[in-house]
Amino acid sequence: MVPITHFLYLASTLFVIGLLGVMLRRNVLIVLMSVELMLNGANIALVAFSRFHGNLDGQVLAMFTIAVAAAEAAVGLAIVVSIFRSRTGSDIDDLSLLRD
């Protein structure tokens, strides 16, 4: 029997790996992938608690997370595409217009 804590370690580790990816990488595409990693980490925690409580709510919520992640990926990639059209690179540091 695997204790729930081990699943939580896995979840937090995946989450932090994703966070590191988002913070350290400058390639927009890899940043998006890292976000997916973070969402996976959160999903594992949800499913683990769901299993722990014998309550399916967590799984349903994880399913919603997957759906939202799909939407996020679609829109995010569309934005990446249009950025690529207007610029040559995919460096997230070039996109600093939030300041203005």
Site for another protein in 69-98 (CB under 8 A): 69-75, 77-98
**What's the min distance (Å) between Cβ of 6 and another protein?**
7
Distance CA 62, CA 99 (A): 34
Phi-psi region of 54 (alpha: psi -120 to 50; beta: other; left: phi over 0): left
Question: Binding to another protein by residue 18, rule CB under 8 A?
Answer: yes
**What's the min distance (Å) between Cβ of 16 and another protein?**
5
Written as one string, the DSSP assignment of 33-80 is HHHHHHHHHHHHHHHHHHHHHT-THHHHHHHHHHHHHHHHHHHHHHHH
**What's the min distance (Å) between Cβ of 25 and another protein?**
6
**What's the min distance (Å) between Cβ of 50 and another protein?**
7
The residue count for binding another protein (CB under 8 A) is 87
Site for another protein in 40-69 (CB under 8 A): 40, 43-44, 47-64, 66-69
Residue 91 forms beta bridges with which residues?
Answer: 27
